[in-house]
């Protein structure tokens, strides 16, 4: 508690374009090395870059979603540094005049993952988001004593999103990264695939004693492509820096990598400052001019955003805040939920929320798949819920049917009805049928009846259990309770 972390994140978001930011080469992942690198990507003499309009529009879409300023004029610059997989010897990026300026993202932080009791909201301010090209990739696996270079990624369009140093813990950093990840996927500007480096973070970390106003020496951890690695890297780096200061040593400004196997950071290189990159405007690219009409056109195609949908769910479907938050973690999930509600009706919207949150998302997590890969359609789940609410089956049988549909990956929308008929699990709700069964149970249990009339409430539950046993669990529990109380009175 003596120390405070100061964290800023730089997130590289690969934009969903079919071609690269300055060339017509494909951005498809997984191609053989160097088969998607054209003359412009290879920096051959005489080639000229041309800005990909789609990349610009995706950047504008993000800026509008975070209430940022869209620069009417922005400039592409050359950022000079040597790296084996950077053919030009510089990276085309934006420096003094980025396309997106300012903006903010609201996050929900849960310090305790098992509970929401200590959860809180925080707004993270952004400095900028700028367009740039990605570098290639150095290959070391299966190469004896040499390094291979794959330039397929060279020129892939990136939007680098930079926060203010507003983040104060690993939990806040992860909450921000997850919120940003959900947003860029929601906006259809990035596929969010972290394994393919479509979304990766650089964390700038320093520590200072609690109450101090000046920042400590900043260390950057590069290329964190999982939320777990981000959390672990920040925790280790904070510990490392505090230990150095306590030992009377200095924290050096440097760039480090996170070793996930050893769960510690390690030196990559000394950290450069902006002047080390010798930024200069790219003479081959004209300034990027964005007028109000272009922005207005893009604004019309921005989907309803998560915060707005969450507020609507609370008001329209009478959901609790945590339920609405759980249902808006992705656009696909919120759409799925509303498809279920459209079938079961608003009066059953709370039940639908419970099924989507408790049963569906739990099953998705167990199978480690996304909502887009669900094995039960919204129509199929809606029918399961409808058969529970109309008394055809019990909640327990509904869970059994859900599991059967999931396992057989059924394609028919009436799967629930089909399974009910085949398995003969229709709930018995008919009073005349239940009367006969209840009379037999009561006749066989005079001692339990006397105990109930003597004030032992557990005796009543025992009688209900006998009825459920006699009907192999098919009796409607509510109807059994109602009829049994009437008979015992």
Tokens of residue 109, six digits: 């932080």
Tell me the domains of the chain and their CATH numbers.
3-296 (no CATH), 306-423 (no CATH), 431-488 (1.10.10.410)
Q: Are 204 and 8 in contact (CB under 8 A)?
A: yes
pLDDT tens track for 81-98: 888 889 999 999 999 999
Is the pLDDT confidence value at 215 over 80? yes
- Mode of pairing for the β-strands spanning 157-163 and 120-133: antiparallel
Residues of the chain with pLDDT > 90: what percent? 72
Mean pLDDT of 264-280: 81
Query: 137-139 and 120-133: which strand pairing?
Result: unpaired
- pLDDT tops 90 at residue 36: yes
- Number of neighbours of residue 197 by Cβ within 10 angstroms: 17
pLDDT category of residue 275 using cuts at 50, 70 and 90: low
Q: Is the pLDDT of residue 482 over 90?
A: no
| CA–CA gap between residue 165 and residue 153 (Å, rounded) | 29
Confidence check: pLDDT of 115 > 90: no
Location of structure tokens 């396992």? 407
User: Where does the pLDDT of residue 430 fall: very low under 50, low under 70, confident under 90, or very high at 90 and above?
Assistant: low
Between CA 204 and CA 191 the distance in angstroms is: 25
Mean pLDDT of 68-73: 98
Q: What is the pLDDT of residue 234?
A: 97
- Distance, CA of 288 to CA of 97 (rounded, Å): 10
d(CA 22, CA 272): 26
Q: Taking 80 as the threshold, does the pLDDT of residue 426 lie above it?
A: no
| Per-residue pLDDT band at 454 (split at 50, 70, 90) | confident
Specify whether the CB–CB gap between 290 and 72 falls below 8 A. yes
**pLDDT given at position 258:** 95
- CA–CA distance, 402 with 382 (Å, rounded to integer): 11
Regarding beta strands 254-259 and 69-70, do their DSSP bridges make them parallel or antiparallel, or are they unpaired? unpaired
The larger pLDDT score, comparing residue 462 to residue 65, is at 65
* Rounded mean pLDDT, 223-238: 96
Cα–Cα dist 393/385, whole Å: 9
- Give residue 60's pLDDT: 98
Task: Write down the pLDDT at residue 338.
Answer: 97
**pLDDT single digits (tens) 354-408:** 999 999 999 999 999 999 999 999 999 999 999 999 888 888 889 999 999 999 9
Instruction: Please check the confidence at residue 427 and state whether its pLDDT lies above 80.
Output: no
What is the mean pLDDT of the segment spanning 70-80?
96
Q: What is the 3-state secondary structure (H, E, C) of the chain?
A: CCEEEEEEEEEEEECCCCECCCCCCECCCCCCCCCCCCCCCCCCCCCCCCCCHHHHHHHHHHHHHCCCEECCEECCEEEECCCCCCCCCEEEECCCCCCEECCEEEEEECCCCCCCCCCEEEEEEEEEEEEEECCCEEECCCCCCCCEEECCCCCCEEEEEEECCCECCHHHHHHHHHHHHHHHHHCCCCCCCCCCCCEEEEEEEEEEECCCCCCCCCEEEEEECCHHHHHHHHHHHHHHHHHHHHCCCCCCCEEEEEECCCCEEEEEEECCCHHHHCCEECCCCCCEECCHHHHHHHHCCCCCCHHHHHHHHHHHHCCCHHHHHHHCCCHHHHHHHHHHHHHHCHHHHHHHHHHHHHHHHHHHHHHCCCHHHCCCCHHHHHHHHHHHHCCCCCHHHHHHHHHHHHHHCCCCCCHHHHHHHHHCCCCECCHHHHHHHHHHHHHHCHHHHHHHHCCCHHHHHHHHHHHHHHCCCCECHHHHHHHHHHHHC
Q: Annotate 340-377 with b (16+ C-beta within 10 A) or e (fewer).
A: bbebbeeebbebbbebbbebbbebbeeeeeebeebbbb
**Residue 279 corresponds to which tokens in the numbers above?**
């930024």
């Amino acid at each position: 508690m003596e120390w405070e972390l100061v964290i800023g994140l730089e997130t590289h978001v690969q934009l969903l374009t079919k071609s690269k930011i300055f060339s017509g080469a494909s951005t498809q992942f997984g191609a053989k090395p160097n088969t998607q690198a054209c003359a412009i990507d290879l920096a051959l003499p005489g080639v000229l870059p041309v800005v990909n309009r789609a990349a610009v529009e995706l950047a504008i879409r993000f800026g509008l979603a975070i209430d940022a300023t869209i620069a009417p004029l922005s400039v592409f610059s050359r950022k000079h540094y040597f790296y084996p997989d950077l053919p030009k010897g510089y990276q085309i990026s934006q420096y003094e005049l980025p396309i997106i300026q300012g903006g903010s993202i609201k996050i929900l932080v849960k310090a305790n993952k098992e509970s929401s009791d200590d959860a809180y909201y925080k707004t993270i301010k952004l400095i900028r988001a700028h367009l740039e090209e990605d570098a290639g990739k150095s290959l070391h696996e299966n190469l004896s004593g040499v390094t291979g270079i794959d330039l397929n990624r060279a020129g892939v369009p990136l939007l680098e999103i930079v926060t203010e140093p507003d983040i104060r813990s690993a939990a806040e950093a992860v909450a921000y990264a997850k919120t940003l990840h959900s947003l860029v996927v929601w906006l259809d500007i990035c596929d969010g695939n972290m394994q393919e480096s479509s979304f990766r973070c650089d964390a700038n970390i320093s520590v200072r004693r609690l109450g101090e106003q000046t920042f400590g020496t900043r260390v950057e951890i590069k290329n964190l492509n999982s939320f777990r690695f981000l959390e672990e890297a920040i925790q280790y780096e904070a510990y490392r820096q505090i230990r150095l200061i306590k030992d009377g040593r200095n924290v050096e400004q440097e760039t480090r990598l996170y070793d996930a196997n050893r769960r510690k950071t390690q030196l990559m290189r000394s950290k450069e400052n902006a002047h080390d990159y010798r930024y200069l405007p790219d003479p081959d690219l004209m300034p990027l001019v964005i007028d109000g009409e272009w922005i207005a056109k893009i604004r019309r195609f921005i989907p309803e955003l998560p915060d707005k949908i969450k507020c609507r769910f609370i008001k329209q479907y009478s959901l609790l805040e945590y339920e609405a938050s759980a249902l808006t973690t992705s656009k696909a999930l919120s759409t799925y939920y509303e498809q279920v509600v459209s079938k079961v009706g608003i009066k059953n919207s709370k039940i639908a929320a419970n099924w989507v949150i408790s049963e569906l998302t739990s099953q998705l997590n167990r199978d480690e798949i996304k909502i887009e890969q669900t094995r039960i359609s919204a129509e199929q789940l809606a029918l399961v819920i409808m058969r529970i609410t109309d008394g055809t089956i019990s909640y327990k049988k509904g869970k059994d049917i859900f599991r059967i549909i999931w396992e057989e990956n059924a394609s028919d929308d009436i799967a629930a009805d089909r399974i009910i008929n085949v398995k003969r699990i229709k709930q018995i709700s008919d009073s005349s049928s239940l009367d006969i069964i209840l009379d037999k149970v009561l006749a066989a249990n005079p001692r339990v009846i006397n105990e109930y009339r003597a004030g032992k409430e557990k005796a009543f539950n025992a009688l209900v259990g006998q009825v459920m046993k006699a009907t192999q669990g098919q009796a409607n529990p509510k109807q059994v309770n109602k009829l049994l109380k009437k008979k015992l009175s």
